Amino acid sequence: MKERIIELSVDNRSEVIELPINPKTVEFTSKQLNQTITLLEMGEVNLAGDRGLKRTKFSSFFPSENSPFSDLAEDTPKGYITMLDEWKTSKKVVRVIVTDMDINLAMLMDELNYSVNEGDEDIYYTMSFSEYVTLNVPTVNIMPKVRDNGLTDRPNTSAGGSHTVVSGDTLWGIAKKYYGNGAQYTKIYGANSGTIEAAAKSHGKSSSGNGHWIYPGTVLSIPA
């Protein structure tokens, strides 16, 4: 039984390849993205950077049915190559697991090379992978600029419904929004005087004595 298992899989293990013949050497590399700059009176200095992507490259062969290692293979050499080539072509994220190295990485296949020798049905291959990192790009909402052609001051056509007061609202401003004329505030006040007065009293004030003050959260009826 092999001491080292090297497994490649995609789509949550819907397709799995366990390498039948382990590569002689398995090596993973990862650069540190340090930067060197030259400063006056100091010369060259090194600035610490973040970790780069992990990469690996290994070579071995897929044994044919005539090979003494055929009992280790679960597919034909062509079957293995066909599956790997499909993963590469369709840009699959490949899960690479090496049991005795504690390697379990999502990677992309960078290169797949394979060859055959005369009189030998085994297929020899070299594969290289680089670490896959999911990008979390924030969405930026850009409000379009609208040329002021006078249409922005048109009254809101939803008059006849209701309006929930928010901080900064005034009866004049609400009337201008729904009727296009701030002087119509008396119409809104007349339809909501009891509600406005009750809200004012809950804040320890008199609405009529404070210029018809209104408070956030108050729901006003907007007469048609």
128-157: per-residue pLDDT in tens?
999 999 887 677 777 666 665 555 555 555
Segment (H or E) for 125: strand 123-131
pLDDT over 90 at 14, yes or no:
yes
pLDDT band at 209 (very low <50, low <70, confident <90, very high): low
- The tally of domains found in the chain comes to 2
Return the percentage of the chain with pLDDT > 70, whole number: 89
43 lies in the same domain as 112 = yes
Claim to verify: residue 63 and residue 109 sit in the same structural domain: yes
Structural tokens at position 48: 């610490």
Which among 224, 221, 154 has a CA at the least distance from the CA of 189? Answer: 221
C-alpha distances in Å from residue 198, one per residue of 159, 161, 207: 23, 20, 8
Q: How many CA atoms lie within 13 A of 95 on its CB side?
A: 15
DSSP3 helix / strand / coil % (the chain, rounded to 5): 25, 30, 45
Amino acid letter, 81: I
**The domain boundary residue, chosen from 99, 131, 163:** 131
Instruction: Give domain status of residue 95, yes or no.
Output: yes
Give the mean model confidence (pLDDT) for residues 187-197: 89
Range(s) of the domain holding residue 203: 154-221
Which of these ranges, 123-127, 145-149, 213-217, has the smallest mean pLDDT?
145-149
